[in-house]
Each structure stands twice: as structure tokens, then as C-alpha cells.
Structure 1
Amino acid sequence: MALWSSLVRQKFSRTAFVVLLVLLAVVIGRPYVNSPLFSATSPRPIAARSDLAQAERATIELFERVSPAVVQVVGAANVSSPQYAESEGGGQSGTGFVWDGAGHVVTNNHVVSGTREVAIRLATGEVVAASIVGTAPNYDLAVVKLQSTRNLPTPIAVGSSADLKVGQAAFAIGNPFGLDQSLTTGVISALKRRLPTNGGREIGNVIQTDAAVNPGNSGGPLLDSAGRLIGVTTAIISPSGSNAGIGFAVPVDTVNRVVPELIKNGRVPTPGIGIVAANEAVATRLGIEGVVVVRAVPGSPAAQAGLRGIEEIGELGDVIVTANGQPARRLSDLTDQLEAVGVGREIELSVKRKDGLTTVRVKIQDIGRSG
């Protein structure tokens, strides 16, 4: 019996040893076996997929419909002109889009400012010479006109910025870093931002978006989910100069008012009443909520209406607190209402004086026209 048990144990040990050797051989030899057996030496079959998601189809359709109207704007800078962040090869590069069937293209003022020549690269790759029709530094907008309008793409449909909501989808098409026809998506992050311009004023009701915007996107369209124009990309906030998720666009309601003026007259009236206002910091230090008048320009509508400032009376003078029935807490509030009423019309102002609150009507004039 003992001998039988010993033989069984020996047989089991030999079997186990053989199995272990086989397993070890499989592990060691697997790569050598797998390579010839399972290598894909011919094109793999294409796996079927379900339909694209509805959101994907909508985005694709939007891009295919709108992108032909988005162009690259390249300007050759004057020798004395500063180079911008978007400059390449001695020129300035940005984005624009076809505005109408006459070949007018809208872009940013800073894209063409200081240039001696402008060229437009269409989505087809064709390069067309263009001339500057008009610029509006106060709104960072400009219009150029193609010298040839053959095979002109359909202009982008125009929407409205008055009914935009934070959180709705936003789409930007442009030429970041010269990479043409680039689409980025995001949402409207905020509304009614204010953005200073090189013209020394502020653009009101600016749209903030997290759709990626980089150097080269300037002047490109910001679109809603229907593919309508809702803004013109103009600036970013970024420590590095590249996208940081904070981009800004001039609202389309402003664009739709300014661009026709540029096409007709080459410029946009700058509405004013002829006052010099104190810095907002001065009003803050004095604890005043309103526009502090430093002086009324002699012969101006403000002077004719009897407005007086610090320089005229040697002490705090008139403070404008409402304009057109709206609070005028700072100068930009006043300029917003001047633009809303328009050049050549009168605006009603509530003015705080020593003897109380008074109402005056002042005619709005174009303070930007020389002479």
C-alpha cells in the first residue's frame, strides 16, 4: 500500500512538472505565436456605426452652410505701423466674413489698421485684392470690399443679440494662427460686458464666450445654433496670449447699425454733446454717482443748454444722473444713450446742481467730424 502511494505521488509530481513546463512555454512563446497568427497584414474591415447624433449633425450642417462665407484677411503693414499679435511675415492676419452680395467683408478695425494693402483669401483658396471702405475704431469694426465678386459665397444670415441668453450654444469660425476654416464651439458665458477700444471709448453689451478664440480669430463670426451671426470676435483675455476660455465679440445689433454706415459714408458718427467729463475715479472719491462735468466746450450743444462744469465755476458743477430716462452712473452709460437716440436729435438729461435736480434737453452732434 505504501509503495502504491509513493508511485501515485511520483506520477502526480511528474504530471504537475510537465504541466508547469507547458504553461511556461506558452507564456514565453506567446508573442512569437501571436505575431504570425494575429497580425493584421491587410486592411481591417470597417465597422458599421449608427447615425451621427443629432447635435453632431446640426453642427456639421451649420459649418458646411456658413464656412464658405468666412475668409482670411491679410494686410501688409506700413513700415511705421506697430505689429500686432496676429502678424505673420510682415503683415497682419485675421478673419472676416462676407456681408453682402456686393463683396463687402466685415472684420475688426485692428486687423486692417495701419495697412497699405489688403488681400482676402476665400474659403476656396482663391486670393482676391480688397480695398478698405471704412473703419470704426470706437467699435473695432472695419469694412473692406473685394475687387472681384466672381463666385461670391452666400452672405451669413444676421441674427439679433438682444435676446441672447447665458448658456446658449455659440460657434466661432476663423483662422487661429493662420489655420483657416477652424470651428470651435462653446456657450455664451456672459452678456453686457464692456470692452475698451483704441478709439478711447467702450463697446457696450459685449458678448463673452468660452468658444476657443486665438490670435487670427479676430474679425470672425460668432454664431448661434441656427447659424445666424450674433457677434464679431474681437478680443481675448489671456496671460499667455492664447485661448484661456474668455473671448469677446461685438454684438450683432451694434454691427448691423455700424456696418451700413461704413459702407455708405466710410465712417460712423460719434454722438456727443460737447462736454469734458471727469474720470470715474474722481466721482468715486467724491461719493458721486453720475457723470461729473469738468467743462462744456464753448459753442457746443452742452454749453448752449446751460451745462456748467468745474472749470467754469471753480467748484463742483453739474452732474448728469440720467440720460434718456436711464441712469447715467458713468460716462459709458451716457454714451450708450447718446448712441441710442442718435446724432441730430435731442436727449433729455437730469442734472444735479447745487439748487437741486433739473432737466435739460441737449442736441446730439457728431463730435467725430473734423471742422
Structure 2
Amino acid sequence: MKSFSKWLIVLISAIAVGAFAFAPALAQSGLAPNADTTVEAQVFQQVSPSVVSIMVYASQGQGQGSGFVIDEQGHIVTNNHVVEGAEFIEVEFIDGTLAEGTIIGLDPDSDLAVIQVDLPEEKLIPLAFGDSSSLYIGQPVVAIGSPFGQEFTLTTGIVSATERSIAGLTGYSIGGAIQTDAAINPGNSGGPLLNLNGEVIGVNSQILSSSRSNSGVGFAIPSNLTQRVAQELIENGFVEYSYLGISGGEVNLRTIDALNLPNDLRGVIVGSAVPGGPSARAGLQDAQTLQNNMGVEELVNADIITAINGEEITSMEELVSYLARETKPGDTVTLTVYRDGEYITLDVRLTPRPSTSQIS
């Protein structure tokens, strides 16, 4: 049976300088005093005390990236690929303060990490998080980081798209990623993507480029997922994600024609349910195909997931994003499934993700 997964092979570079990458993130300390300054300048002055530049030293060399303070205990969010394997981490604040960073937890699935510095509370100004689920295409944003080692650099742009899927550091994808045209380059990794209220809406992580430099297509890990991951890393040192155990793709015109579906039906086609996995145990069925007289396999029957816990799902990216953001192993979710011209509901008890996979 053909795979129904929708994957486009592209060159996606983790935006790190040297072996690693990091970009500074800044805190909220008041608006610019000059009323003639731009909104972007006011955001920078407001948040820059909370952004850090990070130098990472390891046996294979050194690298630079970014991060930002999230609480008064000195916890700092950055990318997993920035600090993994580090033997010594140097954290610099915009006022020149230097501190050693200690790794608290790593999450390669989401490419996020939390480190901690030991500084007085008055030096630690946490950034506020915005709601990444409320973003809109065209919304103005700013990014702060250390592109090519140029510390505390501000770039501007817009939200180009939402609900993108990008690769994690394991076989799993990161759903709900934010696409932006704000200039992001090696060294921006781990720095904040902010709205014009100075709230973190994402963590700059990847660029789509053949040259490892800005092409106007950058990606940030959404703030709602970042908050969940950071909290679990601080509490447990690791993150457990839930697992449905399916592979599949989106409904398209060929699917609609092949299965005689309503033209407005959207959802995730279940290509296969892992035998013995949560979805298979709950009753989700593999798609069925037949060869036509030209020897080409055609879809003849398939389960289509249209909602999870009442929230409409139109793509695998949205399904992955919902599972990572809203659920934990052991939770039971209700799937709305279109099967044989009717809607049914199936209750699925989620299990922990296997170590590496290409499925949800």
C-alpha cells in the first residue's frame, strides 16, 4: 500500500554558529522614553534585558546561539541543538553580565532546552509568553539573536504562515511551527520571536535555505508548546509525549474523487494504524487500496480523522501540534472519524511515544 504521508524533502538548516547556535532574548523593562522612536525600538528596549547570548564550548569546538530568561530562578530557554554536548556554557546579558549556564533538561523531539544561571533576582527579568494559537498571517513580529556572532541583533518581519511542520532532532516532527520572513541566520537559534507587545510567540530554530543563510523562510517553535516543554524540563528533566500510532496524510481532490467524499470534507487520512498501537486498539482501520487496470494502486476506503476532542483537524501538522501541546501519555482522547459516509467517534487511550518514529 502506498504511504499517504505528505512530506517534502527540503534542506532545513539548524541555525547555529559553529557546532552549536544560540541567540539572545530579552526581558520587559519599560518602553522607550522617546515618543519618536519606532514600536520595534520600544520592544527591543523593553525586552533586551531578558535576552542572552550563549557561547558553547565542547570537545568538537565552540559555537554561539541565543536564549531568553523565563523566571526569576534563572531558567533560560534555548534550542536543544545549541547546548547538547556542551562542556561549558557562557551566558552573556546585554549589560555585559557573564554567568555560567547549567543544563537543566534537553528535549530533542521539540529541539528545546532549558539551562540555568545563578544570578541575583534583580538581574533576572522574565519574558512574558504570548498565545501562539492566536497568531494571524501578516502579523508584525521581531526576532532577537546573535546572527553570525553579531550579538543582540534585532530583525523585523511578519508571520508568514502558521501550523507548519518542521523536523525535530528525532524521527518526530514539530507541529504548529511559525513561519516568518524576519531575518534569521546561524546564531539566532534559541532566541525569541516576539509580537509588538514584547511577548514571546516562538523560539527561532530553523531556516529553509541551501546556503545556511537567511532566505526569508525561517521557522520558530510555537510559544504554547515551548511553555509546556520548559515546565516539564524544569520539573522532570525530560518530556514525555503522547502517541496515537498512525501514519497518514491530508484529504485532497484525488481523495475526494476516489472516495466520493463531500467537497468540503477535511481531515487526516489514516494510511495505517500501528498494529497493537493505541489507534488500532481503539478501532481505527488501515486504508484499503486496489490496483486499477493500469497497475496503479487506488484508494478505495479509508478512515478520516476530522476532529480530536471536538477540535477540528485539517492536517497531520495540526494533529501532531494538538497532541504535543494538549495531551500527555495516559490521557484518553475522542477522535471524530468519517467512515463509509458516516461520522463515528472513537476513544483512544494515548501511550508514550516510542524512541524514534515517523508517525504520530
Match of 2:332 in 1: 346
Provide the rounded CA distance (Å) in 2 between the counterparts of 1:194 and 1:53.
40
Alignment of 1:184-263 (within 5 A): 184-263=155-234
Partner of 2:111: 140
* Inter-CA distance 124–270: structure 2 relative to 1 (3 Å threshold): same
Report the 3-state secondary structure (helix = DSSP H, G, I; strand = E; otherwise coil) of the residue aligned with 2:132.
coil
Cα distance in 2, alignment partners of residues 198 and 280 from structure 1: 24
Between the aligned partners of 2:242 and 2:223, the Cα distance in structure 1 is: 20
Letter in 2 for 1:305: A
Structure 2 residue 247 is the aligned partner of structure 1 residue 277? yes
Answering whether residue 49 of structure 2 is matched by residue 68 of structure 1, we say yes
Distance 1:110 1:317, change over 3 A: farther
Matched pairs, number = 304
Q: Which residue of 2 aligns with 1:362?
A: 348
Find the counterpart in structure 1 of residue 272 from structure 2.
Answer: 294
Listed as ranges, the matches of 1:1-371 within 5 Å are 54=35, 56-79=37-60, 90-149=61-120, 152-273=123-244, 275-277=245-247, 290-298=268-276, 300-307=277-284, 309=286, 319-324=303-308, 325-326=310-311, 331-339=316-324, 341-343=326-328, 344-351=330-337, 358-368=344-354
1:124 CA drift (Å) = 2.5
Q: Take 2:137 and 2:174, find their aligned partners in 1: how far apart are those partners?
A: 19
Q: Which residue identity lines up with residue 107 of structure 1 in the other structure?
A: T
RMSD across aligned C-alpha pairs, in angstroms? 3.4
One-letter identity of the residue aligned with 2:54:
V
Relative to the length of structure 1, the TM-score reads: 0.70
Over the matched positions of the two proteins, sequence identity in percent amounts to 37
Which structure has the bigger radius of gyration? 1
Q: For residues 135 and 248 of structure 2, what CA distance do their matches in structure 1 show?
A: 33
Question: CA separation in 1, counterparts of 2:281 and 2:161?
Answer: 40
Answer whether contact 2:273 2:279 (CA < 8 A) is retained: no
Deviations along 1:256-278, whole A, 9 cap, x unmatched? Answer: 222111111112221113x2525
Name the aligned partner's letter for residue 53 of structure 2.
Q
Asked whether the 8 Å contact 2:174–2:320 carries over to 1, the reply is no
Which one-letter code corresponds to 2:43 in the other structure? L
Gaps of 5+ in 2: 1-32, 260-266, 289-298
Counterpart CA distance in 2 for 1:160 and 1:65 is 19
How does the TM-score come out when normalised to structure 2? 0.72
d(CA) in 1 for partners of 2:46, 2:114 = 22
Comparing both chains, which one has the higher relative contact order based on Cα–Cα distances under 8 Å and sequence gaps of 6 or more?
2
Alpha-carbon distance between aligned partners in 1 of 2:339 and 2:40, rounded to the nearest angstrom: 57
Q: Which has the higher helix share?
A: 1
Greater strand share, structure number: 2
- Alpha-carbon contact 1:307-1:318 (below 8 Å) kept: no
Q: What SS is found at the alignment partner of 2:134?
A: coil
Q: Distance in 2 between matches of 1:187 and 1:355?
A: 41
How far apart, CA to CA, are the structure 2 residues paired with 1:99 and 1:110?
Answer: 19
Letter in 1 for 2:127: I
Cα distance change on mapping 1:55 and 1:212 into 2, 3 Å: farther
| Unaligned 5+ runs, structure 1 | 1-51, 80-89
1:134 deviates by 1.3
Q: Secondary structure at the match of 1:67?
A: helix
Q: Secondary structure at the match of 1:115?
A: coil
Per the alignment, in what secondary structure is the counterpart of residue 203 of structure 2? strand
Residues 329 and 108 of structure 1, relative CA distance in 2, 3 Å threshold: same
| Worse-superposed segment, 213-222 or 234-243 | 234-243
Give the counterpart letter for 1:301 in structure 2: P
Q: Is the 8 A contact 1:338 1:347 kept in 2?
A: no
Over 3 Å counting, the alpha-carbon distance change for 1:221 and 1:55 in structure 2 is farther
1:91-127 residue CA offsets vs partner (Å, 9 max, x unmatched): 1211001111000000111111232332212223233
CA deviations 1:25-44 (Å, max 9, x no partner) are xxxxxxxxxxxxxxxxxxxx
